Every structure is written in structure tokens, then in C-alpha cells.
Amino acid sequence: MSTHAPQQRRTPPPGRTDEELARSDLPAMLRYGLSFAGPHRTALFGDGAVGAAVLLDRRGVPPRAVAFLAKVVRSGGVRYAAGLPEPVPGAQAAATVRSWLESAADVANGLDGDETTARWLEAVAEVLGLRRTHRTHRPSAD
């Protein structure tokens, strides 16, 4: 007779749709994700990065623009990047990204905060690039 309790199977949580991720409160996710490690940081780099990529994809922002912005943040700081007139191409996209950068600038502490923000922007650029690659290389349904 076994004394071990039977293993319960855990079902993974249901996935979130692009629409749900796009409606995420990214400024809040940045504030909490940059201020606290653990689940807040995980959410920022997971759902937050995907939600940001969905929004920027819808606005036609190329991944290289977000990757370049990460370099600007890394070299000049989040506060400097937040003051740029057009951190990414397009007025609506620039306003959206500026709000993210302003939220990050409120809590990013020194070089570590700038580096974490830059790494998050790089994650957003990667997801954005993957979305575009997948969309252009999707096999046709015959």
C-alpha cells in the first residue's frame, strides 16, 4: 500500500487573447514590475510584453524601432527617452509609448531601472518581430 497521495493534475490557466492582452494596464504593470521582482516582474515580461507588442503591431511600429528605443533607454536613461518627441514612429504609437516610459521613469531607480526597462523593450521588440514573422510565413490552407 502506497503512503503517497495521488498526484493531482493541474490544468494550465487558459490563454489570453490578443484583445485581452492589449487592454492590459501597461503603465501600472511597468510601475509594479520595475518596483518589485517576482510575480510583478514576471507579468511585466510575459503578458505585459505581449500586450505591448500587440498594441504596437496594430499601430504599424516596426520591431527595429522598439529595439532602437531600448538602446536609447540603455544609453540615455528612461527619463531622457520619455522626453523624446517621437520615441517610436507615428503620433498615436509615440503617445502610447511615451506614457509607458513616463510610468517607468517614475519608479526606475538608476542604472538598474534603466537596464530593466531596456530589457523589457527588447522583449517587446522580439515578440513584435515574432508576430510579424509568423504572420508572413503562415502556411496557406489548401
d(CA 54, CA 127): 9
Output the nine-digit C-alpha cell for 33. Answer: 514590475
Q: Which amino acid, residue 132?
A: R
Alpha helices, DSSP H only, in the chain?
18-22, 26-35, 39-43, 49-58, 63-76, 78-82, 91-107, 110-136
Distance of CA 84 to CAs 5, 27, 80, 101, Å?
59, 17, 7, 10
Tell me the pTM.
0.84
Classify 77 in phi/psi space as left (phi over 0), alpha (psi -120 to 50) or beta: left
For the stretch 22-44, pLDDT in tens is 999 999 999 999 999 999 999 99
Each residue's pLDDT tens digit, 91-130: 999 999 999 999 999 999 899 999 999 999 999 999 999 9
Residue 69's Cβ-count burial label (10 Å; 0-12, 13-18, 19+) is buried
